[in-house]
Structure 1
Amino acid sequence: MQKEQLLTRRRALLAGVAALGAAGAAGTAGLLFPGSSGSSGPPVRPAGPVAGSPARGALAPSAYRLRPLTGEGTPRAVPGPPRVRRAPILRMSGRGRTMMLTFDDGPDPRYTPHILDTLARYDVRATFFVCGGRADGNRDLLARMADEGHVVGNHTWTHPLLTKLSRRRIRAEMERTSDIIERAYGERPLWFRAPYGAWNRATFQLGAEMGMEPLAWTLDSFDWTEPPPVADAITDQVVGGAAPGFLVLNHDAGGDRSQSVRALRAYLPELLDEGYHLTVPRRSYT
């Protein structure tokens, strides 16, 4: 008798649960959710889950709009702020006799094509930190750099002393140059070099915001001095100071660079004969 009473009570409980479930389904059948149509009033959110709604613990539809998504599913983490360095990169990391040749202040149609010719002869890639004001009138040279595998970096528009400028003017110098590089070279620069090697907090912060790493140099060829040194002196400076991981500073504009052109023709084969591999910067070096 007692067993039959327990069974009867259990059947009643199950029937009650089923009735409640049916009532809940009927109560949500005509409700509209954010993004649906056909309602003149505000969207109503059901008290419980229904077909097509997020499962327990999932983000509501409005929450998904607060962060970027990768297709469907769990939203990816919001990217953190860009890394801001306190000092420029001075040398390459890695093994072997690897060096990097860099050329500042160009392009200049009197000298840059000859430098590109020498690099092509020895199948060597280099990095050119261009000034936007010169690049704007010599876009064909930036296009050639892209075609031949060289890297183009940002060296500001007018080559000013950035430490004397306001943050707004520094941004303008950098952004305008990145814009012209993108149009002529095909992509925005990933590397920035401050004119005269004069860095400050603003240059690091703004460069990071624009997706650029600050790249300086390890070995100065001193081809920028006045009067310009002869090619032999530049060659002795580069070959004598060469070491694995070094970044060499040269110039292909900003003055009479004929001796820089001649020096490259002399010291490049010497570096290669000594077993150096001349390359361009990659993010992995940093």
Structure 2
Amino acid sequence: MHNDAKSHRDTPPGIRALATSERVLALTFDDGPDTEFTPSVLDILQRYGISATFFCLGVQVAANWSVAKRIVVAGHQIANHTWSHPHASDVTVSELLREVENTTDTIEEATGERPRWFRPPYGELGAEQGRAIADAGYEVVLWTVDSLDWLGITGPQIVANVVPALENGAILLHHSAGNVAGTVDALPYLIEVCLRLGYRFVRLDEAM
């Protein structure tokens, strides 16, 4: 759906990895929930008994309440990715805060959970915007390893992007909506490889 893989050159301060030397990884999924790919991702995670963090768009939650609810009921962490996925440079501080707070309110209404984790679309956030987000009580989370799945690439290509870059405490960026059939294809194999390498998966709030 969206390119969250912009270079970190212009990105804000934020959590880019788990503060641990343990062999753990955090799977994260942006841009959902939808009714096409998010349920398949949830099915795969359930099959392997793995928890993940979903950075959801408010507009998607509003359209797909039952899937958002399923994320939480299944034991995953739900987090904020704005309402409509704007570029930071296209919105004012007050507009961004409104996007974030509307999304949080909608997530809470749909799931009973009020998220405190926030991932800015495209990894972009102005300095003043970042201060306002922090003042509003949110932790900004970016990523360590970008799967590039938003490009619509195949499962094997996604695996090739992720596995060589694995490290202790890595936050893995994937998407659960958009042109991401490759993610659904890659996920079982990727999980199995990580498990064979001795990694375990955690939600962000389990490691921070």
In structure 2, the CA distance between the partners of 1:162 and 1:194, relative to structure 1 (3 Å rule), is same
Give the aligned partner of residue 245 of structure 1. 169
More helix by share: 2
Give the aligned partner of residue 194 of structure 2. 271
Aligned length: 197
Give the aligned partner of residue 126 of structure 1. 52
C-alpha displacement of 1:202:
3.1
Q: Give the alignment's TM-score, normalised by structure 1.
A: 0.66
1:103 is aligned to 2:26: no
- In 1, distance between residues paired with 2:122 and 2:36? 22
Q: Which runs of 5+ in 1 are unaligned?
A: 1-85
- In 1, distance between residues paired with 2:101 and 2:135? 10
Give the AA of the match of 1:243. E
Aligned to 1:187, which of 105, 110, 113?
113
Task: Decide whether the 8 Å contact of 2:18 with 2:207 is kept in 1.
Answer: no
- In 1, distance between residues paired with 2:193 and 2:207? 27
- In 1, distance between residues paired with 2:44 and 2:203? 16
C-alpha displacement of 1:205:
2.1
Aligned to 1:145, which of 66, 71, 88?
71
Instruction: Name which one, 1 or 2, has greater alpha-carbon Rg.
Output: 1
- In 1, distance between residues paired with 2:156 and 2:207? 34
1:136 is aligned to 2:62: yes
C-alpha displacement of 1:201:
1.9
Secondary structure of the residue aligned to 1:100 is strand
Give the aligned partner of residue 197 of structure 1. 123
* Bigger mean CA offset, 263-272 vs 111-120: 263-272
CA RMSD of aligned residues (A): 1.4
Give the aligned partner of residue 95 of structure 2. 169
Say which structure, 1 or 2, has more relative contact order (CA 8 Å, 6+ apart).
2
C-alpha displacement of 1:282:
2.2
In structure 2, the CA distance between the partners of 1:279 and 1:107, relative to structure 1 (3 Å rule), is same
C-alpha displacement of 1:163:
2.5
